Amino acid sequence: MRNVVIHDPTLRDGQHAVRHQLGAVALRRYAEAADAARIPVVEVGHGNGLGASSLQVGQAAVSDDEMLSTVREALRHSRMGVFMLPGWGTSDDLRRAIGHGADVVRIGVHATETSLAERHLDVLREAGAEAHCVLMMSHMASPAELAEHAAQAVAYGAQAVGIMDSAGHFLPADVTARIGAIVAAVDTPVIFHGHDNLGMAVANSVAAAQAGALIIDGCARGFGAGAGNTQLEVLVPVLERSGFATGIDLYALLDAADLAERELMPAPPITASMSIVSGLAGVFSGFKHRVVELSGRAGVDARDVFFELGRRQAIAGQEDLIVDVVAELSARRANA
């Protein structure tokens, strides 16, 4: 069996589903359960990463410092991971996270904007943290482009590099082509992070592992924006049956997933109509709440908003574009 490392962003990506309102007690309880399951890396933070708590994308219930210190204290076996988007977080945020004991730090950039990670990867290298770079909205780039940018990230100092299917847009063949191209281009571990808008996240994750990815992400009960992320307690046994060793205790993993459903989320994510549209349109799932809210106020069809955002190739951090699209569609409707 070939080893894969499971990275669990339940306490970070899951925050999108509850408007970043997970409190310290919930963070600690899940971190303890994940640690008991021997999940290798448990990621924590605001949904958009370090420094992102704001009126624009949502204020977190607790500060970055409290989140990090709470989870660090709960972990005995698992390593702690954090995530940062340049423009939201800063180098000082990275240094503070490392000071709180972050072991693995991921810098997320748009699929064709790897240069934005260079300065932050330098900081991480100097600080001695394990530095990853993930290419977001990866459906917007070809396999060759992704391979080129992954190689660039490695040249900047990334010790692992990979892709996020941020909009849940891929089918397994798409993943195979992209992961295969990246594996051929770099000599570091390759990452895959899936979303479940089209119900393909587990299948896509297995395809990624079969294509050579060594780090695979998943969240308890799929906890995440829109239709959610790859469902971790399904992913692990499916990987094991497919010939990949994870080192995770299945019963303890199932217990952690049950706890997550009881204590972290109002209800597990489902592949609802709006999430399907988001995946088809290739739009970041985290836009869902804002799109539905603004569309409802303006009396326009939220599905039209998603497809227009997809045509404009909207990416995370461009939430203001939702306002523009809703206003234009509303004006069009009034003039029709």
Residue 28 known to bind ligand: no
Residue reference for tokens 């847009």: 169
Residue 193 known to bind ligand: yes
Contact 304, 318 (CB under 8 A): no
Based on the number of CB atoms within 10 Å of its own CB, is 134 exposed (0-12), middle (13-18) or buried (19 or more)? buried
Residue 289 known to bind ligand: no
Q: How far apart are CA 159 and CA 124, in angstroms?
A: 10
Q: What pairs with residue 133 in β-bridges?
A: 107, 161
- The DSSP secondary-structure symbol of 287 reads G
Helix%, strand%, coil% for the chain, nearest 5: 50, 15, 35
Per-residue tokens: 139: 């459906």
Q: How far apart are CA 195 and CA 169, in angstroms?
A: 8
Q: How far apart are CA 95 and CA 190, in angstroms?
A: 25
Contact 6, 40 (CB under 8 A): yes
Q: What pairs with residue 84 in β-bridges?
A: 107
Active site residues: 16
Per-residue tokens: 92: 């000082």
Q: How far apart are CA 173 and CA 89, in angstroms?
A: 34
Residue 125: count of CB within 10 angstroms of its CB: 14
Q: How far apart are CA 96 and CA 74, in angstroms?
A: 18
Residue 12 known to bind ligand: yes
Binding-site positions for Mn(2+) read 13, 193, 195
Residues within the annotated binding site for substrate? 12-13, 166, 193
Which residues are documented as binding site?
12-13, 166, 193, 195
